[in-house]
Chains A and B, each alone.
Chain A
Amino acid sequence: MKFRNPLPTLALTVSLVLSLPALALAETTIRFATGYDLESIDPIWTTAGGAFRHGYMVYDTLLAKDADGLTHPQMLESYDISDDSLTYTFTLREGLLWHDGTPVTAEDCVASIQRWGARDGAGQVLMEYMSAMNTIDDKTFEMVLSEPFGATIDTLAKGAANVPFMMPKRVAETSPDEQITEYVGSGPFIFVEEEWVPGSKIVYRKNPNYVPRDEPASDVAGGKHVHVDRVEWLIMPDQQTALSALMAGEVDILESPTIDMLPIVDQTEGLTTTQVNRDGWVGMVVPNHLHPPFDDPRAHEALAWLIDQEVYLQAIAGNPEYSKPCASLFACGTPMSSDIGGEALSGFDKERARELFEEIGWDFDEPIVLLNADDPAINSSILLTAQALRSIGLTTDVQSMDWSTLAKRRTSTDAPEDGGWNIFITYGSAGSRHNPFFNASYSAACADGWFGWACDEELETLRAAWPLGETVEERQEIARAYQERAFTVGSPWIPFGQWAEPVAHSETVTDFVPIGTGVVVFWNMRKSESAAD
């Protein structure tokens, strides 16, 4: 006979009692204007932003990292690592239920990890170390490794796409190459499928059976207490329309107003802004290592000398309050970041850049092909890059397309004049760029690597070594070595700064939880009838 912890039942009763008076009141609904459509509803199948956000509403994770980057159990009661570091034992919390009312079991989690491990980059690495996963009882399972892998817990606590979200076994048994068709999770919100209008509206309601942890919420870790009955995501690709809707009180929160809109928000009575995207975005100039001139490290250095981060950030954000230069490959302000090897990046020297291109023997009349996309931040930084290249006498060929075409075009390894490219620009969540291991964009695995195909064995060795570092200091050492080496041999990409738009919202909405990856979460959030004084 297993002893049942009475606490969850008690908590449930208490929360039911406490919620009784609320029943008499009207439902509280938060209307959230976002530009992210739910392109696909399966956060394991895709890393796209919409599915990632949806994942945190509907699903929960075994482990989660707090705002200080420390890992805590989330769905787990506890976990245990054997002395030989080969066996990990995980025990689920009591009282966890799927949205259909059935209990969360160890079997469900094993199946979920397997599906995620087939799909996610870091998950695939973990799977290589794993020899078996066994369920011990309903609430306990173990993971047996073939050799020690120091990043096991970090990998399972991964907060960037693909996040290892837990799903019921029958759902998790869907082939990793197909999308799931049943949307049952154990997270704080329930997806209301009947009200889903793809491309327009996504509705969630409070999960009454959710049992939050006792710890305070911190990033995606801690207690996820839900204080609203309903959350409606209204997809508004046109930010101007979204701003107008916010000003007219038709929505409560606008996810990503452009920074230029913020003065208007500030001037409008009843509206305010809150920074919830803790780490913000990292801008990345990606040179193609396969073709001249960027097959030569000197061209990379020249490009770094030409990038004036303050100018790029001014063009994108226009307000230093929301942006900061960062000459590190790892998000500034996080433990792995350093300015080692970043002299060319922090400096601006046209003469030096010109000399470097001359040293290579590059023909200044040969066009450098830059890919431009229909995104304001990408467009302005591509145009600035082209302008900087032209300012030292180089020839540029800016080719514009929509993002999906660019996303395809950048996979081309052909020469730039035959449909390939020299440079493209993108930006990614700084929250998923804290170290060289978890993100594919740090790969230097040549043809198997990320677009741009940086190719350096030593970088790959350092990347693989990072998770094996036992202490933060050891890992910092490896990250510094990676960065120094990258800036010497040609980094997979050159950062041009970090920026973050706050969310704009009605003053009636309070208690946002800032998240490193920039996803807006709705636990802890409160909405009052009128603005608090």
Chain B
Amino acid sequence: MRRGSSRMNSSYWMGAVLLGAVLVPSLLAPWLSSADPLLIEPFSRFAQPGPEHLFGADALGRDVFSRTLYGGQTSLVVGAVVTLVTVALGATIGATSGFFRPLDAVVMRIMDGLMAIPGLLLAIALAATFGNSLMTVVVAIATPEVPRVVRLVRSLVLSLREELYVMAAVAVATPRPVIIKRHIVPNALPALVVLATYICAAAILTEATLGFLGVGVPPEYPSWGNMIAEARISFQVAPWLILFPSLFLTITVLGVNLLGDGLRDSLDPKLAEKI
């Protein structure tokens, strides 16, 4: 292999640094910004970036710096929750389905069905159906992603079942949960972790997209998607309104993706084919 380990590490580190650059200020938002991200001051609408408002003020006079940092919290929460839900649910369904053949056919038809609906279309339909709430957005983004995890885990389980040591464990009637815990989980983990980072990045982007289409988290929440969606109308009057959240969003997704690439390459170079 000509690829040196330096490249893998470099994308890993670069990802971590970029992500940290957004994560840390977002978590420290209450200390970094004194302005209330929700406070409306119509008379300072479209204030330019300056000492008063570091990143300027939006159409309702709310502080963009503060909103960008708090918006980061929303985006990261969406990313994290979607990832956890998707991986937990997908792994459970995938493992169960791989081990219990009778279930498999039904489960896989359902997963095929879900995958047959283009992801964003499904998310929009779900988000529009159940109204604006953080919960809805998480469900809407997670639903189209679940089948991806299910498929990955199921195929891992199916191939692991053929391995001698697993067959042996089955032969001596080891309880299935024990087999899953002892043999399947450790083998599936690297692939899951890497897939999880990609899902996380996709979730953050999809949150913004749903916000853009007006079916994202409730507009009173500061979220990057909502900020960009609201700033769109005043794109030419106050370009900074769209600039800062977009920049933070791009950095975050880039960071998460690079982190995933780095993890993939250092955990198992062969993973690229499976995911």
Direct contact between A and B judged by beta carbons closer than 8 A? yes
Choose the segment among B27-35, B68-76, B213-221 that binds chain A (4+ C-beta atoms closer than 8 Å): B213-221
Cβ-based interface call for A374 (8 A): yes
Given A315-B42, A315-B45, answer yes or no on A402-B215 (Cβ-Cβ < 8 Å): yes
Q: Which of A260, A374, A387, A402 contacts B39 (CB 8 A)?
A: A387
With a CB–CB cut-off of 8 A, which chain B residues contact A243?
236
Are the CB atoms of B60 and A240 closer together than 8 Å? no
Are the CB atoms of A374 and B233 closer together than 8 Å? no
Are the CB atoms of A401 and B132 closer together than 8 Å? yes
Are the CB atoms of B220 and A372 closer together than 8 Å? yes
With a CB–CB cut-off of 8 A, which chain A residues contact B132?
374, 400-402
User: Which residue of chain B has the shortest Cβ distance to A382 in the bound complex?
Assistant: B220
With a CB–CB cut-off of 8 A, which chain A residues contact B219?
372, 374, 379, 400
Q: Determine which residue in A263, A315, A372 has the highest number of CB atoms from chain B within 10 A of its CB, and name it.
A: A315
Are the CB atoms of A383 and B236 closer together than 8 Å? no
Give the CA-CA distance A405 to B133 in the complex, in Å: 13
Distance (whole angstroms) from the CB of B136 to the closest CB of chain A:
10
Given A318-B45, A383-B220, A384-B40, answer yes or no on A240-B214 (Cβ-Cβ < 8 Å): no
Cβ-based interface call for A314 (8 A): yes
Are the CB atoms of B128 and A376 closer together than 8 Å? no
Cβ-based interface call for B9 (8 A): no
Distance (whole angstroms) from the CB of A34 to the closest CB of chain B:
16
Cβ-based interface call for A258 (8 A): yes
Given A240-B232, A315-B60, A380-B60, answer yes or no on A261-B214 (Cβ-Cβ < 8 Å): no
Are the CB atoms of B40 and A387 closer together than 8 Å? yes
Cβ-based interface call for A311 (8 A): yes
The 8 A CB mask of A295-318 against B (1 = contact, 0 = none) is 000000000000000011011001
Given A315-B60, A380-B60, A405-B131, answer yes or no on A400-B218 (Cβ-Cβ < 8 Å): yes
Cβ-based interface call for A215 (8 A): no
Q: Determine which residue in B60, B133, B214, B232 has the highest number of CB atoms from chain A within 10 A of its CB, and name it.
A: B60
Give the CA-CA distance A402 to B132 in the complex, in Å: 8
Given A240-B232, A260-B59, A402-B214, answer yes or no on A383-B40 (Cβ-Cβ < 8 Å): yes
| Interface positions of B from 199 to 241, Cβ below 8 Å from A | 214-215, 218-220, 230, 232-238
With a CB–CB cut-off of 8 A, which chain B residues contact A314?
42-43, 45
Cβ-based interface call for A239 (8 A): yes
With a CB–CB cut-off of 8 A, which chain B residues contact A318?
42, 45-46, 59
Q: Which of B60, B220, B238 contacts A400 (CB 8 A)?
A: B220
Distance (whole angstroms) from the CB of B232 to the closest CB of chain A:
5
Given A400-B220, A405-B131, answer yes or no on A380-B233 (Cβ-Cβ < 8 Å): no
Are the CB atoms of A240 and B128 closer together than 8 Å? no
With a CB–CB cut-off of 8 A, which chain A residues contact B39?
387
Are the CB atoms of B45 and A398 closer together than 8 Å? no
Give the CA-CA distance A231 to B42 in the complex, in Å: 38
With a CB–CB cut-off of 8 A, which chain B residues contact A264?
236-237
Cβ-based interface call for A238 (8 A): yes
With a CB–CB cut-off of 8 A, which chain A residues contact B234?
258, 260-261
Q: Which of A238, A258, A261, A372 contacts B218 (CB 8 A)?
A: A372
Give the CA-CA distance A258 to B231 in the complex, in Å: 12
Distance (whole angstroms) from the CB of B238 to the closest CB of chain A:
8
| Interface positions of A from 248 to 263, Cβ below 8 Å from B | 258, 260-261, 263
Give the CA-CA distance A315 to B42 in the complex, in Å: 5
Give the CA-CA distance A402 to B215 in the complex, in Å: 8
User: Which residue of chain B has the shortest Cβ distance to A387 in the bound complex?
Assistant: B40
Are the CB atoms of A240 and B233 closer together than 8 Å? yes
| Interface positions of B from 38 to 68, Cβ below 8 Å from A | 38-40, 42-43, 45-46, 59-61
Are the CB atoms of A260 and B131 closer together than 8 Å? no
With a CB–CB cut-off of 8 A, which chain B residues contact A401?
131-132
| Interface positions of B from 89 to 132, Cβ below 8 Å from A | 128, 131-132
User: Which residue of chain B has the shortest Cβ distance to A379 in the bound complex?
Assistant: B219
Give the CA-CA distance A357 to B265 in the complex, in Å: 63
Give the CA-CA distance A263 to B42 in the complex, in Å: 18
Give the CA-CA distance A386 to B38 in the complex, in Å: 11
With a CB–CB cut-off of 8 A, which chain A residues contact B233?
239-240, 258, 260-261, 376
The 8 A CB mask of B118-162 against A (1 = contact, 0 = none) is 000000000010011100000000000000000000000000000
Are the CB atoms of A261 and B45 closer together than 8 Å? no
Give the CA-CA distance A380 to B131 in the complex, in Å: 19
Give the CA-CA distance A379 to B133 in the complex, in Å: 15
Give the CA-CA distance A292 to B133 in the complex, in Å: 26
Are the CB atoms of A260 and B218 closer together than 8 Å? no
Give the CA-CA distance A376 to B233 in the complex, in Å: 10
Are the CB atoms of A383 and B59 closer together than 8 Å? no
Are the CB atoms of A240 and B220 closer together than 8 Å? no
With a CB–CB cut-off of 8 A, which chain B residues contact A380?
40, 42, 59-60
Are the CB atoms of A238 and B232 closer together than 8 Å? yes
Distance (whole angstroms) from the CB of A179 to the closest CB of chain B:
24
With a CB–CB cut-off of 8 A, which chain B residues contact A386?
220
Distance (whole angstroms) from the CB of B143 to the closest CB of chain A:
19
The 16 listed contacts between A and B (C-beta, < 8 Å) are A240-B232, A240-B235, A243-B236, A258-B233, A260-B234, A264-B236, A311-B42, A315-B42, A374-B214, A379-B219, A380-B40, A380-B42, A383-B38, A387-B38, A400-B218, A400-B219
Contacts A260-B237, A372-B218 known; list 15 others, CB within 8 Å: A238-B232, A240-B233, A260-B238, A314-B42, A315-B60, A315-B61, A318-B46, A376-B230, A376-B233, A383-B220, A384-B42, A399-B218, A401-B132, A402-B214, A405-B131
* Chain B residues in the interface with A (C-beta under 8 A): 38-40, 42-43, 45-46, 59-61, 128, 131-133, 214-215, 218-220, 230, 232-238
* Chain A residues in the interface with B (C-beta under 8 A): 238-240, 243, 258, 260-261, 263-264, 311-312, 314-315, 318, 372, 374, 376, 379-380, 383-384, 386-387, 398-402, 405
Q: Which 8 A-B pairs have the closest CB atoms?
A: A400-B218, A314-B42, A315-B42, A400-B132, A374-B214, A260-B237, A401-B131, A260-B234
